C-alpha cells in the first residue's frame, strides 16, 4: 500500500497511524466496515475519501495489531528503525504535495505530526506541525473510528472537526485570530457584562462601547451551559458572548464544591434572570441537549 491516496492537488489530508488487516487486503483507506462510521462523518462534513488524501503514516499493520509495537519502549517515545523510515517517507510525501490541512485520526498519529503527547488537550484545535523543517503544516486532531463506536456522541464532534478542517483547507496560512475569552470571570465581571447586554438590547443600540467587537446593534447573544453527567446534573459553568470574537465564562461548581459564596451565586443567577427576560435573541450551543438534560434532572 502507498502512504496516501487521493486526487492530485487536494488541500485536505486525513491521516491514521496504520491500516487494519482488512484495509490492507482491500488496498484502500476507510474502505471497510469498521471505518464506515468515520466515512459517514466525512460525508456529513461535506467531503469524502475520493475528494481528499487519505492514508497512513505506516502503510503496514504491525504484527501485533497495535501501533505501539513500532516503538522500542512502553511509553511510545523511541520509534523503531522501520517507523523512522516510514515517518521520513511520509515527510517527503507531505513536502511534495503540501496539503493545507492534515487531520490526524487518533493520539499516536497526532503525536508524530505535532509532538504533543496530550491528545485530548488539542483535539479539535488547529495546531502547527513539527514533522518538517521546510514547511509548517496545519494539523487538526480528531477521534479515531473505534472511539466513535465506543461513544456514539463523538460522531457529532468528529463531523464538526472535519467541517472545521475543510473550511481551513481553503487557505494555506494560519488564520489571524483576534478573539477575546475571559475564562472564570469574577461575579462582578460577569454581572456587569450581563447588565451591559440587557441595556444594549433594551435601547436596541450599543451606546456603551466598553466591550470590544460590539456592533451598533446586538444581533444575538450566544450561550453555552456545561453540566455534570449523572444524578443531579448541576450546571458547572455558564458562558455568554455578544460576538463571535468576545465571550465570558463563570464557574459555578468546582467538582462537587460550590465555586462561589451563596450571596455571589444568588447575584449571578439574578443577572442571568435579567438577561433571560431581556429582548436579547439567544443562540444556544447544543442547547437541545443541555437544557433538556438540566431540566429533566432537576424535575422541571
Q: Are residues 131 and 254 in the same domain?
A: no
Q: Are residues 11 and 146 in the same domain?
A: yes
pLDDT digits (tens, 9 = 90+) for 237-255: 889 998 888 899 999 888 7
3-class secondary-structure state, position 150: helix
| Range 233-237 average pLDDT | 78
How far is 235 from 295, CA to CA, in rounded Å? 11
How far is 253 from 260, CA to CA, in rounded Å? 8
Name residues whose C-beta falls within 8 Å of residue 35's C-beta, 6 or more positions apart in sequence.
Answer: 20, 23, 29, 145
| Reported confidence tier of residue 300, pLDDT bands at 50, 70, 90 | low
Give the per-residue SS3 of 244-288: CCEEEEEECEECCEECCCHHHHHHHHHHHHHHHCCCCCEEECCHH
| Reported confidence tier of residue 191, pLDDT bands at 50, 70, 90 | very high
Structural domain count of the chain: 2
Between residues 229 and 116, the one the model is more confident about: 116
Q: Are residues 151 and 244 in the same domain?
A: no
Give the per-residue SS3 of 35-102: HHHHHHHHHHHCCCCCCCEEEECCCCCCCCCCHHHHECCCCCCCECHHHHHHHHHHHHHHHHHCCCEE
What is the model's pLDDT at position 146?
A: 87
Report for 65-74, 105-114, 147-156, 162-171: range of highest mean pLDDT: 162-171
Q: Which domain holds residue 158?
A: 4-168
The domain that contains 239 carries what CATH number? Answer: 3.30.420.10
Q: Are residues 164 and 188 in the same domain?
A: no
Domain finish residue from 168, 200, 224: 168
Q: Are residues 10 and 139 in the same domain?
A: yes
Q: Are residues 159 and 192 in the same domain?
A: no
**Is 175 part of a structural domain of the chain?**
no
pLDDT digits (tens, 9 = 90+) for 143-183: 998 889 888 888 999 999 999 999 999 998 887 777 888 98
Domain finish residue from 147, 168, 189: 168
Q: How many CA atoms lie within 13 A of 167 on its CB side?
A: 9
Query: Per the confidence metrics, is the pTM higher than 0.85?
Result: no
What is the model's pLDDT at position 114?
A: 92
Between residues 126 and 35, the one the model is more confident about: 126
What is the model's pLDDT at position 95?
A: 92
| Reported confidence tier of residue 1, pLDDT bands at 50, 70, 90 | very low
Identify the DSSP state of 193: H
Q: Is the pLDDT of residue 232 over 60?
A: no
**Is 174 part of a structural domain of the chain?**
no
Q: Are residues 155 and 8 in the same domain?
A: yes
The domain that contains 77 carries what CATH number? Answer: 3.40.470.10
Domain finish residue from 116, 146, 168: 168
Cross-strand pairs, 253: 258
Q: Are residues 26 and 113 in the same domain?
A: yes
- Beta carbons of 124 and 139 less than 8 angstroms apart: no
- Beta carbons of 23 and 35 less than 8 angstroms apart: yes
Q: Are residues 10 and 156 in the same domain?
A: yes
Amino acid at each position: 500500500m502507498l502512504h496516501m491516496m487521493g486526487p492530485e492537488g487536494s488541500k485536505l489530508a486525513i491521516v491514521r497511524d496504520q491500516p487494519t488487516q482488512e484495509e490492507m487486503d482491500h488496498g484502500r483507506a476507510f474502505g471497510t466496515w469498521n471505518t464506515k462510521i468515520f466515512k459517514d462523518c466525512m460525508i456529513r462534513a461535506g467531503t469524502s475519501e475520493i475528494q481528499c488524501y487519505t492514508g497512513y503514516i505506516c502503510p503496514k499493520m504491525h504484527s501485533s495489531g497495535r501501533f505501539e509495537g513500532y516503538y522500542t519502549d512502553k511509553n511510545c517515545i523511541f520509534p523503531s528503525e522501520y517507523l523512522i523510515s516510514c515517518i521520513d517517507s511520509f515527510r517527503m510525501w507531505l513536502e511534495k504535495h503540501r496539503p493545507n490541512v492534515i487531520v490526524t485520526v487518533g493520539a499516536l498519529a497526532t503525536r508524530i505530526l505535532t509532538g504533543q503527547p496530550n491528545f485530548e488537550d488539542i483535539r479539535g484545535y488547529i495546531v502547527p506541525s513539527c514533522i518538517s523543517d521546510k514547511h509548517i503544516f496545519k494539523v487538526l486532531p480528531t477521534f479515531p473510528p473505534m472511539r466513535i463506536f465506543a461513544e456514539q456522541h463523538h460522531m457529532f464532534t468528529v463531523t464538526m472537526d472535519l467541517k472545521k478542517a475543510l473550511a481551513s483547507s481553503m487557505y494555506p496560512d494560519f488564520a489571524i485570530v483576534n478573539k477575546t475569552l475571559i475564562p472564570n470571570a469574577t461575579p462582578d465581571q460577569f454581572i456587569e457584562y450581563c447588565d451591559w447586554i440587557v441595556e444594549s438590547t433594551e435601547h436596541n443600540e450599543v451606546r456603551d462601547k466598553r466591550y470590544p467587537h460590539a456592533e451598533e446593534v446586538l444581533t444575538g447573544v450566544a450561550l453555552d451551559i456545561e453540566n455534570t453527567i449523572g444524578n443531579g446534573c448541576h450546571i458547572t459553568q455558564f458562558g455568554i458572548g455578544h460576538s463571535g470574537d468576545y465571550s465570558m465564562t463563570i464557574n459555578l461548581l468546582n467538582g462537587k464544591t460550590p465555586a462561589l459564596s451563596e450571596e455571589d451565586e444568588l447575584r449571578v443567577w439574578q443577572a442571568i434572570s435579567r438577561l433571560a427576560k431581556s429582548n436579547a435573541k439567544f443562540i444556544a450551543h447544543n442547547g437541545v441537549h443541555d437544557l433538556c438534560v438540566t431540566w429533566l434532572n432537576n424535575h422541571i
